[in-house]
Structure 1
């Protein structure tokens, strides 16, 4: 008898549980919408909030504007700009969210705008934004000399000096782009002046791409899983990062 009653009640109880979860989710969504409406006018003219999400930290709400994150309370009375850390483990929750937000879909990168070099089997794939006048980029080029079995797509991202675009154009117009780039970055040998017939370079498109991806400095390294590392890393750090990335086949070829 008890079994029969339970069988009859199960659908009803399931409906109650699902209804409660749905109600809670709707309430949270409404609260997030309310916070967005409150906080957006307080950020100044033209600032648009991309998303608001309830956090498990002290009743705070995460507010995302572009790739920036800050926190506020339910009444949007206070704003907290900084990192949320676990006091016991030092886990950086803000960094984890920033890394998640900044991920790139590697397959969407316009690799025809990049130079491609392959070492060994080329199974490990990265894209790098570099400026020809960037000292840390030159240092990272030396790191790449120590690493095998890698495919590198280099986007020449001209943001540091007026002549960066000129140097990049001369490299792009060289008969062997990879050699011309390495000659300059590793050995300080300037590429030859671009031929008059070389009218088209990807400079402007790469600049727009980097800006759209929020690349604010060079080098910026993007891995096959979409994660990125801004700035120089040595060979050991690069190998450690490769070990944490799911292996993928090399991406379609570009020039």
Structure 2
């Protein structure tokens, strides 16, 4: 029969052994990811700061390299790299798209909504954010689509990235007495804003910095209340379904 002291000693030794094994695996993983990162920086000219993370994929020996705007895949040495979708053929699932959706999720509650043009439709119970350029044709298309969407509050972050005129119009809209009216008049009816655009427009600069930080590379970019991101001028049916799911 084991004494309590002997049992306790063996248990402690087992815990130490398991912990050491885990640390060994962690150290090995760190060495592998460091090797991949070093190889990609030296061989492909990728800036080390652009590599946000390197993780194993479900495929043995293949690693995911997150460079912010896209995912690359590499072997354990950084000798072979490809840019494309990784497909789970067994379950008919695009793993690359699923990971990008996960990585692009936004903490909706953290968004500075005070810097957005607010438009309330119906009871406004559902919420969405849009990064939009006043001169973006797809943004105009999305605004037309929104005419058929009810019971939603739309927060539009003015995001003038296309031209100096986009910046000028964004400032005029922001400086308007009724920003929502000025925005919709321009986007839906092409009635140019008449405000001087000389008020405090720091919010627009903040929007640009926020969008860059969040990798908003195109307009319109829609963000739903659950943090899901929808790029482009999505159809009314898709938007309605997404809003209902995120609500």
Q: Name the TM-score class by shorter chain.
A: 0.7 to 0.9
Change (3 A) 1:91 1:10: farther
Residue in structure 2 matched with residue 69 of structure 1 by the alignment: 71
The yes-or-no answer on 1:211 pairing with 2:234 is no
Task: Report Cα offsets for 1:5-32 as digits up to 9, x if no partner.
Answer: xx98995797466665554344333322
Change (3 A) 1:146 1:10: farther
TM-score of the superposed pair, with normalisation by structure 2: 0.86
User: What RMSD over aligned residues (CA atoms) do the two structures have, in Å?
Assistant: 2.5
Q: 2:99 aligns with which of 93, 97, 102?
A: 97
Residue in structure 1 matched with residue 33 of structure 2 by the alignment: 32
Alpha-carbon separation, structure 2, partners of 1:14 and 1:117: 61
Alpha-carbon separation, structure 1, partners of 2:88 and 2:145: 33
TM-score of the superposed pair, with normalisation by structure 1: 0.83
Out of 57-66 and 126-135, give the one that drifted further: 57-66
Alpha-carbon separation, structure 2, partners of 1:12 and 1:243: 52
Alpha-carbon separation, structure 1, partners of 2:75 and 2:102: 23
Structure 1 contact 116–153 (Cα < 8 Å) conserved:
yes
- Equivalent pairs counted in the alignment come to 241
Structure 2 contact 35–78 (Cα < 8 Å) conserved:
no
Residue in structure 2 matched with residue 200 of structure 1 by the alignment: 200
Alpha-carbon separation, structure 2, partners of 1:225 and 1:26: 35
3-state SS in 2 of match to 1:52: strand
Gaps of 5+ in 2: none
Residue in structure 2 matched with residue 252 of structure 1 by the alignment: none
Q: How does 1:1-255 map to 2 (within 5 A)?
A: 11=11, 15=15, 20-44=21-45, 46-48=47-49, 49-194=51-196, 198-201=198-201, 202-245=203-246, 247=247
Structure 1 contact 36–51 (Cα < 8 Å) conserved:
no
Out of 32-41 and 115-124, give the one that drifted further: 32-41
Structure 1 position 131, deviation (Å): 0.9
